[in-house]
Amino acid sequence: MPTLISETDVKLERADLCKRIVLPRDTVDNFIVPPARTPGLHLSGLLRYVAQKSRITSYLDQLDEEAVPLRWALGIAWEEFAASLYPDMVWQPGEVSDPVIMTCDGISHLSDVNQPCIEEFKCNRARKYSGADMLKKKWLWTCQGAGYCLGYGCEFVRWHVLSVMEFPDPIYTKYLVGFTNKELGEMRKMIENNRAGAIAEGYCE
């Protein structure tokens, strides 16, 4: 189980919104050009294959939810808003391909441990999770995090989670999590053991 290092509820003020930055974008004739995705097996496809093969129902239910365009749009909107609050973060740093093709949301630097950190943004259509529950229940998030650590050479992931079902207001929580070399080795083995099957079953893009 990855180690929960910190769990912080973020209280935004008007001054925080005034400090937002303009996110870098590629444009052609003033139209935004989304980053190109390399054809082949991506981490998302491999995890989808593992979930189907292993009947990981929590992830399969989440796939059904993501088929609703407005829910997907909420996730995009949350990422782009929250990322604009962090000028020192490299947003959408681009693809890497080892041990499988993947693209994380962002990378920053943890000054207290002098190491890089993956930044991931999630819009959670539920009540707020405790850090322990998040690690137990969100199989996809933890596997993504471990995969991104392998691909980008990190040991830490910070999830920025908007829990929209809290009353009276949504809650923004940051969870900082560390992975051990053993856990990252197990993730690499899972990727290697399932790569051929995912490709054979048509999970490539």
- Cα 139 to Cα 200: distance, rounded to the nearest angstrom: 23
Q: What is the pLDDT of residue 110?
A: 93
- CA-based nearest residue to 4, from 133, 144, 96, 154: 133
Q: Per residue of the chain (205 residues), what is the pLDDT tens digit? A: 899 999 999 999 999 989 999 888 776 666 666 677 889 999 999 998 998 888 776 666 665 555 667 878 888 999 999 999 999 999 999 999 999 999 999 999 998 888 999 999 999 888 999 999 999 888 889 999 999 999 999 999 999 999 998 888 999 999 999 999 999 999 999 999 999 999 999 999 8
Q: What is the pLDDT of residue 37?
A: 83
Go through the domains of the chain in sequence order and give each one's CATH number. 3-12+39-200 (3.90.320.10)
Q: What is the pLDDT of residue 33?
A: 63
Cβ proximity of 89 and 106 under 8 Å:
yes
Q: What is the pLDDT of residue 134?
A: 92
Q: Which helix (H) or strand (E) holds 162?
A: strand 156-163
Q: Which residues have C-beta within 8 Å of that of residue 7, sequence separation ≥ 6?
A: 130, 131, 173, 174, 175, 176
